[in-house]
Chains A and B, each alone.
Chain A
Amino acid sequence: MGFKNYILVCGGTGCESSRSDQIYHSLIDEAQAQGVADQVQVIKTGCFGFCEQGPIVKILPEDSFYVQVKPEDARELIAEHVIKGREVTRLLYNKAPRKAYEEVEDIKFYQKQLRIVLRNCGSIDPENIDEYIAADGYKALEKVLFEMTPDDVINELKTAGLRGRGGAGFPTWMKWNFTKQAEGDEKYVVCNADEGDPGAYMDRSTLEGDPHSVLEAMTICGHTIGAHHGYIYIRAEYPLAIHRLEVAMKQAREYGLLGKDILGSGFDYDIEIRLGAGAFVCGEETALLQSIEGHRGMPQPRPPFPAVKGLWGKPTVINNVETWANVAQIINKGGAWFASIGTADSHGTKVFALTGKICNSGLVEVPMGTTLREIVYDIGGGIAHGKRFKAVQTGGPSGGVITEENLDTPIDFGGLQKIGSMMGSGGMIVMDEDDCIVDVAKFYLNFTVDESCGKCAPCRIGGKSLCNILEKITQGKGEPGDIDQIQQIAHAMRVGSLCALGQTAPNPVLSSLRYFPKEYEAHIQDKKCPSGKCKKLISYEINPSKCIGCTACSRKCPVGAISGEVKKPHKINGNVCIKCGVCKETCKFGAIEIH
């Protein structure tokens, strides 16, 4: 007899950190204990994307979407849902059971999404190769090995118009074609899984949820360009992704989908994992190749490009995880199908890690051309805690801010560049009115300064100098010439840096200057921080007309800066106050104000 219920438990890093692994085991144990083990199959899947509401458990065939589940809920889910057929309302996302026979409508978070890269995330067990095969897995490899010529594959990618998802957007077919045409019998295929933008986790989730999609694509590439070895360069701080990759590679080898004479085609190919130590600069392709070779990860001048002289001096294709995850679908469904999705400039979809001050943070995949407004408001559910939208940072520390006026810009490679940001790898950090734009720019700059390899002077010295100026401004010591100096240094970094890390490091500062010049002026001229974030520029004061003298704040103040008699307005001693903001959080009457 078949299973009557299927329970899908999210096994992504986000949900696992909220004990989804325990939920998985508890469900199996409970099903056993309550005598229905033969009726339910519990499956651990990849990321559902709706990380805000994790851990997520989905029960089929009812399509019940349970959120924020705890291991203790397993007993009730089995007893009520599986055995009695009653949905556990309190755990449902919309808190209301679905009426029978009603069409299942996707919840709003998913309505505008289109999942190509994440097609299998949240639906198959990533540690079971059979499930990947069932979901049309390795079908594209079949086609490539037995039905297509290498040129056919490149043409299909050309028709598809797939562009690199790592950030730069270089046409994938061209990379493959250059490498294919390059002379030499030894060539390599590399997967760049060194995801490093703050807040970005698209690649991690793809590898955790559907590792075979990357293995299959790399094998296809190997056959196309004439390579027999592939490397996945992944940071060691992604242990779950590494584990899933290792399991996937082992299973693929057992099936002979990696190794000698794949499927009897005579083609030999295998893949190795190389762990990175988490240096941001190693996401830059030439630095990454250095690191694989065992050298210090430092960028090299280009040309020669890796397609000509890459790993160990041999022609090498290097693509990002998300790029790889598109390849098998393009071969299966055709380049024309892929090209029909998105905009004229950019085809297909893009995965974003939506984080920051947003209601529904999570992993979203949308067709190119979707507007930021749709992502922030329709999918993201708007700004958290009823605050006002301020800006979105895309492209991480190499990108820029996008403001209200540009929210309706369709997202594609060209569109984002036009408004002074960039696609980047897909980090999308939402800011609200409480975020100080100078502070944010300083944060990103500090990040790139930390991560600079130090090889070239413009990046090493320029970054540090920019940082110092911003620090000065947020300390209230800004001077009139500062903005000019920022522009000059930024220009020098852009022109003179060896790699994209240095060239793009000034972007967050420049774009925030472009859109929020008044906020910089307020810091420099008026010595004020409009969002009340820069501690040196603000003071906490108690509004005597609102204070009822409840003493709550004075009891919470960690440094005893607040004094006053009971039932009489209190006062903050500015000399003692450390501006931690605890009093403001504590006050129920809104009496504490920032000046």
Chain B
Amino acid sequence: MAKLSLSDLREIRVREERNLKKRDIHGRSVHVVVAMGTSGINAGAKLTLNALADEVEKKGLENVIITQTGSAAPNPEPVVEVYTPNEGLVVYGSVDKDTAVRIVDEHLAGGKVLEDKRIELKEGE
């Protein structure tokens, strides 16, 4: 390894900070939960999850937490729940890869709910 100059050190810091920040979850206000029960995975939730994660990374959104849940989801799957401080809780159905990208771009980054993909929860769901 070469000895570092001042600018080398700063470069490493910027590069590595990005990685370390991903582990810092304090103050992240946007939660995205992907329903990953057996039926969800069967419907392609895994691809949805990957697409969401990739797009969030690509867009450099630092206040987003993506998690999964194993519990049963309403139809049509794959189901993604998005919680933002402004729009509150929004549930999307039939979220394929393209829709996942749209959710990140339009809802998370743009603050605009995708009305065409929104599903309403029935009592108890």
B-binding residues in A (CB < 8 A): 1-4, 6, 8, 60-63, 80, 83-86, 100-101, 104, 123-124, 130-131, 133-139, 142, 146, 254-257, 259, 261, 263-264
Partner of B81, one of A100, A123, A142, A263: A100
Chain B nearest CB from A273 CB (Å) reads 21
Within 8 Å CB of A61, what residues of B?
Answer: 25, 28, 65-67
Bound together, the chains give a CA A49 to CA B57 distance in angstroms of 32
Partner of A263, one of B9, B28, B37, B57: B9
Q: Is the CB of A84 within 8 A of B36?
A: yes
Q: Is the CB of B69 within 8 A of A100?
A: yes
Bound together, the chains give a CA A136 to CA B14 distance in angstroms of 10
Chain B contact-residue range equals: 35 or more
Q: Is the CB of B20 within 8 A of A124?
A: yes
Within 8 Å CB of B66, what residues of A?
Answer: 4, 61
Chain B residue at minimal CB-CB distance from A86: B70
Q: Is the CB of B1 within 8 A of A264?
A: no
Bound together, the chains give a CA A6 to CA B53 distance in angstroms of 14
Considering only residues 6-21 of chain B, those with a C-beta below 8 Å from chain A are 6, 9-10, 12-13, 16-17, 19-20
Given the known interface contacts A86-B69, A131-B16, the answer about A264 and B6 at a Cβ–Cβ threshold of 8 Å is yes
Within 8 Å CB of A84, what residues of B?
Answer: 36-37, 68, 70
The reply to whether the CB of B49 lies closer than 8 angstroms to some CB of chain A is yes
Bound together, the chains give a CA A124 to CA B17 distance in angstroms of 11
Within 8 Å CB of B2, what residues of A?
Answer: 256
Chain B residue at minimal CB-CB distance from A43: B23
Chain B residue at minimal CB-CB distance from A138: B9
Chain B residue at minimal CB-CB distance from A259: B3
The reply to whether the CB of B87 lies closer than 8 angstroms to some CB of chain A is no
**Max chain A Cβ within 10 angstroms of own Cβ: one of B5, B12, B54, B57:** B12
Within 8 Å CB of A138, what residues of B?
Answer: 9
Chain A residue at minimal CB-CB distance from B85: A101
Given the known interface contacts A85-B34, A131-B20, A263-B6, the answer about A101 and B68 at a Cβ–Cβ threshold of 8 Å is no
Within 8 Å CB of A259, what residues of B?
Answer: 3
Q: Is the CB of A263 within 8 A of B4?
A: yes
Considering only residues 62-112 of chain B, those with a C-beta below 8 Å from chain A are 65-71, 81, 83, 89
Within 8 Å CB of B69, what residues of A?
Answer: 85-86, 100
**Max chain A Cβ within 10 angstroms of own Cβ: one of B49, B54, B69:** B69
Those 7 A-B pairs whose CB atoms lie nearest each other, nearest first: A85-B68, A256-B3, A134-B16, A86-B70, A134-B20, A84-B70, A254-B1
Chain A residue at minimal CB-CB distance from B64: A61
Chain A residue at minimal CB-CB distance from B2: A256
| Interface residues as binary, B25-57 with A (CB distance below 8 Å gives 1, 0 otherwise) | 110100101101100000000000110011001
Bound together, the chains give a CA A264 to CA B3 distance in angstroms of 9
Chain B nearest CB from A61 CB (Å) reads 4
Given the known interface contacts A100-B83, A130-B12, A256-B3, the answer about A4 and B53 at a Cβ–Cβ threshold of 8 Å is yes
Chain B nearest CB from A312 CB (Å) reads 29
Within 8 Å CB of A257, what residues of B?
Answer: 4, 9
Q: Is the CB of B22 within 8 A of A6?
A: yes
Bound together, the chains give a CA A123 to CA B22 distance in angstroms of 12
Bound together, the chains give a CA A353 to CA B30 distance in angstroms of 37
Partner of A63, one of B13, B25, B49, B71: B25
Chain B residue at minimal CB-CB distance from A139: B13
Within 8 Å CB of B34, what residues of A?
Answer: 85
Q: Is the CB of B4 within 8 A of A256?
A: yes
Within 8 Å CB of A3, what residues of B?
Answer: 22
Q: Is the CB of B5 within 8 A of A263?
A: yes
Within 8 Å CB of A8, what residues of B?
Answer: 23
Bound together, the chains give a CA A137 to CA B70 distance in angstroms of 39
Within 8 Å CB of A136, what residues of B?
Answer: 13
Q: Is the CB of B23 within 8 A of A6?
A: yes
A-binding residues in B (CB < 8 A): 1-6, 9-10, 12-13, 16-17, 19-20, 22-23, 25-26, 28, 31, 33-34, 36-37, 49-50, 53-54, 57, 65-71, 81, 83, 89
Bound together, the chains give a CA A60 to CA B57 distance in angstroms of 16
Bound together, the chains give a CA A382 to CA B93 distance in angstroms of 49
Bound together, the chains give a CA A6 to CA B19 distance in angstroms of 11
**Max chain B Cβ within 10 angstroms of own Cβ: one of A8, A60, A80:** A60
Q: Is the CB of A100 within 8 A of B31?
A: yes
Within 8 Å CB of B36, what residues of A?
Answer: 83-85
Partner of A101, one of B13, B17, B31, B54: B31
Chain A nearest CB from B74 CB (Å) reads 15
Bound together, the chains give a CA A556 to CA B119 distance in angstroms of 68
Chain B nearest CB from A81 CB (Å) reads 9
Chain B residue at minimal CB-CB distance from A62: B67
Bound together, the chains give a CA A558 to CA B70 distance in angstroms of 54
Bound together, the chains give a CA A254 to CA B9 distance in angstroms of 12
**Max chain B Cβ within 10 angstroms of own Cβ: one of A104, A134, A261:** A134
Q: Supply 4 further A-B pairs (C-beta < 8 A) apart from A101-B31, A255-B3.
A: A1-B50, A3-B22, A86-B70, A134-B17
Chain B nearest CB from A332 CB (Å) reads 12
Within 8 Å CB of B67, what residues of A?
Answer: 61-62, 85, 100
Chain B nearest CB from A370 CB (Å) reads 22
Within 8 Å CB of A6, what residues of B?
Answer: 22-23
Q: Is the CB of A2 within 8 A of B70?
A: no
Bound together, the chains give a CA A287 to CA B89 distance in angstroms of 65
Q: Is the CB of A130 within 8 A of B3?
A: no
Within 8 Å CB of B28, what residues of A?
Answer: 61
Bound together, the chains give a CA A267 to CA B120 distance in angstroms of 66
Within 8 Å CB of A80, what residues of B?
Answer: 70
Q: Is the CB of A134 within 8 A of B19?
A: yes
Bound together, the chains give a CA A259 to CA B3 distance in angstroms of 10
Bound together, the chains give a CA A146 to CA B65 distance in angstroms of 38
Chain A nearest CB from B1 CB (Å) reads 4
Chain A nearest CB from B12 CB (Å) reads 5
Partner of A1, one of B19, B53, B89: B53
Q: List 12 A-B contacts (CB under 8 A).
A: A1-B54, A2-B53, A4-B49, A85-B34, A85-B36, A86-B70, A100-B33, A124-B20, A130-B16, A134-B13, A134-B20, A135-B20
Within 8 Å CB of B3, what residues of A?
Answer: 255-256, 259, 261
**Max chain B Cβ within 10 angstroms of own Cβ: one of A100, A136, A256, A259:** A100
Chain A nearest CB from B86 CB (Å) reads 13
Within 8 Å CB of A1, what residues of B?
Answer: 50, 53-54, 57
Bound together, the chains give a CA A133 to CA B14 distance in angstroms of 9
Chain A residue at minimal CB-CB distance from B6: A263
Bound together, the chains give a CA A84 to CA B28 distance in angstroms of 22
